[in-house]
Structure 1
Amino acid sequence: MTSTHESPAPNPHATAEQVEAAMKDSKLAQVLYHDWEAESYDDKWSISYDQRCVDYARGRFDAAVPDEVQRELPYDRALELGCGTGFFLLNLIQAGVARRGSVTDLSPGMVKVATRNGQGLGLDIDGRVADAEGIPYEDNTFDLVVGHAVLHHIPDVELSLREVVRVLKPGGRFIFAGEPTTVGNRYARELSTLTWRIATNVTKLPGLREWRRPQTELDESSRAAALEAVVDLHTFDPADLERMARNAGAVEIRTASEEFTAAMLGWPVRTFEAAVPPGKLGWGWAKFAFGSWTSLSWVDANVWRRVVPKGWFYNVMVTGVKPESPAEAAGS
């Protein structure tokens, strides 16, 4: 069963005036940017709802959550903040982490796509446009709250975590994955910028122009990138995330990080893919890119994690639990 709460309509074609206004209003920027991206977002980020991404989502959950919790799955009702197209929660449900869920996002376009994706998968999902700093659900509603690459978009992260703890049932858990570290974000952006410059200039050369997207598409990507710089508000040190979760009232807080060499490959690959015409690279490229990322992720997890500081990896995850009682909260 899938239903959508009455919500504002998506706006995938923002005017120049709206974009200009969004440069001074981060929440408007969030809505315009993500409405703009909603219908093409899965393709852009190679998101799917098959075994590949089911395994990826479950892997992020397992990396952050203690083994004893994993043996007691599934949770009954889950909430995803900043759901995008539903990637994290829909795949976690398919992976057996939860039975049913609610997807929320500030972008009407993303909520529309996420609930449509849930319907296509036959999952028990409802969707609602919602601000993560004021989650529109009652206290003690959910057994699990999740998010992927969402906290860095929220102006007041600690306020949002307080809201997360509020809507969780006592003993309920949250997990947020895919958040950029301060160090990781620096090298990812530098590598992406360099790759974009090289790709868009080399494809101007005779004999390589068939590899170049039309200039109007490149210009639109540049405008989207300008908005992206407005919507990406934070980077994190793992210790800072732990502190904010503790201040929000959570207990049993843990962080984990991933993607070191995998990010150094992944960001140039994604940027190159955005610079060339869709479909130009083919299945062979997709297989190479995913296989290489998977291999480097293994190296990161089994080799570099032993010697490289947690904050140097690109992604950080945080998980915590709502106290069962006031005494437990006071003891945290």
Structure 2
Amino acid sequence: MTGRPDDPAPNPHATEAQVQAALADNKLAQVLYHDWEAETYDDKWSISYDERCIAYARGRFDAVAPNAVLPYERALELGCGTGFFLLNLMQSGIAKSGSVTDLSPGMVRVATRNAQRLGLDVDGRVADAETIPYEDETFDLVVGHAVLHHIPDVELALKECLRVLKPGGRFVFAGEPTTIGNRYARRLGQATWKVTTEITKLPFLQGWRRPQEELDESSRAAALEAVVDLHTFDPADLEGMATRAGAVDVHAETEEFAAALWGWPVRTFEAAVPDEKLTWRYRMVMYRAWLGLSWLDENVMRRVVPRQFFYNAMLTGVKPGASGR
């Protein structure tokens, strides 16, 4: 349930010199940034391993691969983070056992710890998605969430996915930013951060301000985030990459338009204020608003807004050979 003994140790407190070096070394930046975020990542993004996130993860899978034959025997997650996607998919019945990989030792440690707590059959390795350290035809399913946009050579990573998949095996990736969606989401987030951190300087709102050292650390993390986010995607371009990598039955979907316009300012505001100000009632109101806007996206906006304007892209493909699942 833990990483391999020869995996590097997490480094959650990068020095200024290391951060400066990472600005010129993308993979070092990936490790430092995600080690930095690992222990607080679930809280930052409201990730859980209960009915709410199980339904969310399963919904993403079903949206792009509705006809998959379940369950898969063994699944691999690339760029696992804290294990959000695979662990919740396993709880929903998508796969019986799994492996999680990430460049960040800190993320692998948290993901395997989460799996152990949930009683899931999962092992973990520190690994590069461009050189997956497993034998050919090891897995029945490869998944990832918000990972392709961090990988320098996406097409190479997709080829690696196909290599480690058994014939007829499937990959499913979700949570990838579209080019247009990322543009408006970033601008909304930056504006919200600036307004919130400036307004909370007022004397009667200082109780809503995080300590300056926490805000400074968030700003340093944001500087690395700009380095580790390498790509945005047009859905058609994603389909082209997967096809060139050798996949068949390739298909991309998109989601979140109104929900993204709402969600990015909300998440940014929450990152800028003390946790104790965000009551359970507040969180439920925000969550229900997001659900309502997601319903609007699915039932109204999808019919009138081109798919490339939605924020999240999802991609699936199958390894040629036996019948796809």
> Given the alignment of the two structures, is residue 272 of structure 1 paired with residue 269 of structure 2, yes or no?
yes
Classify the secondary structure of the residue corresponding to 2:59. helix
Counterpart of 2:25? 25
Within-5 A mapping of 1:167-178: 167-178=164-175
Given the alignment of the two structures, is residue 116 of structure 1 paired with residue 134 of structure 2, yes or no?
no
What amino acid is aligned across from residue 56 of structure 1 in structure 2?
A: Y
Instruction: Report the counterpart of residue 133 of structure 1 in structure 2.
Output: 130
- Cα deviation, 1:237-261, whole Å, max 9, x if unaligned, reads 0011000000100000011000000
Please report how far the alpha carbon of residue 206 of structure 1 lies from its aligned counterpart in structure 2 after TM superposition: 1.8
Aligned to 2:55: 55
1:4 Cα offset (Å): 2.5
TM-score by length of 2: 0.98
Gaps of 5+ in 1: none
The separation in 2 between residues aligned to 1:118 and 1:26, in whole angstroms, is 28
User: Distance in 1 between the 2:45 and 2:30 partners?
Assistant: 18
Structure 1 residue 310 corresponds to structure 2 residue 304:
no
Q: Tell me whether 1:103 sits opposite 2:103 in the alignment.
A: no
Equivalent residue, structure 2, for 1:284: 281
Q: Deviations over 1:100-130 (max 9, x none)?
A: 0000000000000000000000000000000
Q: In structure 1, what residue type is equivalent to 2:56?
A: Y
Cα deviation for residue 3 of structure 1 reads 3.8
Match of 1:5 in 2: 4
**Pair 1:93 & 2:90 matched:** yes
Which of 247, 251, 256 is matched with 2:253 structurally?
256
CA distance in structure 2 between the partners assigned to 1:201 and 1:285 by the alignment: 22
1:278-310 Cα distance to aligned partner (Å, 9 max, x none): 121211110011111111001001100011111
The CA distance in 1 between the partners of 2:232 and 2:55, in whole Å, is 26
**Amino acid paired to 1:101:** G
Q: Deviations over 1:158-196 (max 9, x none)?
A: 000000000000000000000000000000000001100
Distance 1:66 1:123 in 2: 24
Aligned to 2:214: 217
Q: Secondary structure at the match of 1:104?
A: strand
Matches within 5 A, 1:172-251: 172-251=169-248
Aligned-residue CA RMSD (Å): 0.9
CA offsets, 1:129-180, max 9 Å, x none?
Answer: 0000000000000000000000000000000000000000000000000000
- Following the alignment from structure 2 to structure 1, what is the Cα–Cα distance between the partners of residues 276 and 146? 26
Deviations 1:56-77 (A, max 9, x none): 000000000033x2xx210000
Q: Scaled by the length of structure 1, what TM-score is found?
A: 0.96
Shift of 1:32: 0.1
Tell me how far apart the structure 1 counterparts of residues 274 and 301 of structure 2 sit (CA, whole Å): 35
Aligned residue for 2:120, secondary structure, equals coil
Q: Counterpart amino acid of 1:25?
A: D
Residue 142 of structure 1 is matched in structure 2 by 139
Read off the aligned partner of 1:53 and give its amino acid letter: C
Equivalent residue letter for 1:36: W
Q: 1:5 is aligned with what amino acid?
A: R
**What is the CA–CA distance in structure 1 between the aligned matches of 2:297 and 2:276, rounded to whole Å?**
30
301, 305, 320: which is aligned to 1:323? 320
Unaligned runs of 5+ residues in structure 2 are none
Name the CA distance, whole Å, in 1 between partners of 2:175 and 2:200. 32
Separation (CA, whole Å) in 1 of partners of 2:2 and 2:206: 46
- Kept in 1: contact 2:169–2:318 (CA 8 A): yes
* 3-state SS, counterpart of residue 214 of structure 2: helix
**Cα distance in 2 for residues equivalent to 1:45 and 1:284:** 17
In 2, distance between residues paired with 1:17 and 1:281? 35
Aligned partners of 2:3 and 2:126 also within 8 Å: no
**Rounded Cα–Cα distance in structure 1 between residues aligned with 2:177 and 2:152:** 15
Residue 50 of structure 1 deviates from its aligned partner by: 0.4
Query: What letter matches 1:157 in structure 2?
Result: V
Residue 215 of structure 2 contacts residue 272 of structure 2 at CA under 8 Å; is this kept in 1?
A: yes
